[in-house]
Amino acid sequence: AQSVTQPDIHITVSEGASLELRCNYSYGATPYLFWYVQSPGQGLQLLLKYFSGDTLVQGIKGFEAEFKRSQSSFNLRKPSVHWSDAAEYFCAANFGNEKLTFGTGTRLTIIP
Amino acid sequence: GAGVSQSPRYKVAKRGQDVALRCDPISGHVSLFWYQQALGQGPEFLTYFQNEAQLDKSGLPSDRFFAERPEGSVSTLKIQRTQQEDSAVYLCASSLERNSPLHFGNGTRLTVT
């Protein structure tokens, strides 16, 4: 079955530390992959996307993600987090049927 | 504004009432999606329009849920005889064309008491 898995429900990092949020998918081919961020009471904002080509993609707010076909993964990274990065992060995939399938999300807490 | 607009922002309904949720997509966006986001969960697909045609409604949880987009722009999600399990945030998203990134509205939080 086609699915997106985010294994970490909640991650806490110190301000200025590096961040990696994990995402895995289950699909027989390479889907279109996305990372979205959601602040409380807000809709989802697109951080970055991967369709094809270079497996390291750059996004907004200093985020990047790396697609690894061998691991069916699309992990999100940031070298140095800021307090304003505290939010819920969703990985999503388009499995060729127009709609997005989302993971369950990872809540990011930043401590001073 | 230039973004996806949803109204109302909050809706409280008594169990058994009908509700209607509105979505104004970005002008010119062909595709429109509705998602349901339960507390602490990721968004779950409900239905999808391309212009006025509803191409996929496989995610609608029951026949109490109905969506329309009669002129290919504004869309309404209607829920009849609301139940407590319908309590969630309903997100609308639009995209310029097939497989373009989705732009989301801020959602309507529905609480059924």
Question: Which residue has 């109204």 as its token pair?
Answer: B7
pLDDT tens per residue, range A2-16: 999 999 999 999 999
Judging contacts by C-beta atoms under 8 Å, the chain B residues touching residue A102 are 42-44
* Distance between CA atoms of residues B52 and B68, nearest Å: 8
Residues B83 and B32 sit within 8 Å (Cβ to Cβ) = no
pLDDT score at B1: 53
pLDDT score at B48: 95
* Alpha carbon A40 to chain centroid, angstroms: 17
* Distance between CA atoms of residues A28 and A69, nearest Å: 11
pLDDT score at B32: 96
Higher local confidence (pLDDT), A80 or A28:
A80
Residues B35 and B42 sit within 8 Å (Cβ to Cβ) = no
Angle in degrees, CA B25, B91, A57, rounded to 5: 85
Residue A41: pLDDT above 90? Answer: no
Cross-strand bridge partners of residue B44: B36
Q: Around A111, how many Cα atoms within 13 Å sit in the side-chain half-sphere?
A: 4
Q: Does the beta carbon of B90 lie under 8 angstroms from any beta carbon of chain A?
A: no
DSSP symbol at A69: G
Cross-strand bridge partners of residue A46: A36
- Name the residue of chain B whose CA is nearest to A49's CA: B101
Helix, strand, coil distribution of chain B in percent, nearest 5: 5, 50, 50
Residue A24: pLDDT above 70? Answer: yes
Instruction: Point out the residue among B42, B48, B105 whose CB comes nearest to the CB of A99.
Output: B48
Question: What is the phi/psi pair of residue B21, to 5°?
Answer: -115, 135
pLDDT tens per residue, range A66-89: 999 999 999 999 999 999 999 999
pLDDT tens per residue, range B66-79: 999 999 999 999 99
Residue A42: pLDDT above 90? Answer: no
DSSP symbol at A84: G
* Distance between CA atoms of residues B62 and B38, nearest Å: 16
* Distance between CA atoms of residues A19 and A11, nearest Å: 9
Question: Which residue has 């989802």 as its token pair?
Answer: A44
What percentage of residues in chain A have a pLDDT greater than 70? 100
Residue A54: pLDDT above 80? Answer: yes
Interface test with B, best of A23, A38, A91, A95 (most B CBs within 10 A): A38
B31 min Cα distance to partner chain A (Å): 9
pLDDT score at B96: 92
**Mean pLDDT for chain A overall:** 95
Q: Which residues of chain B have pLDDT under 50?
A: none
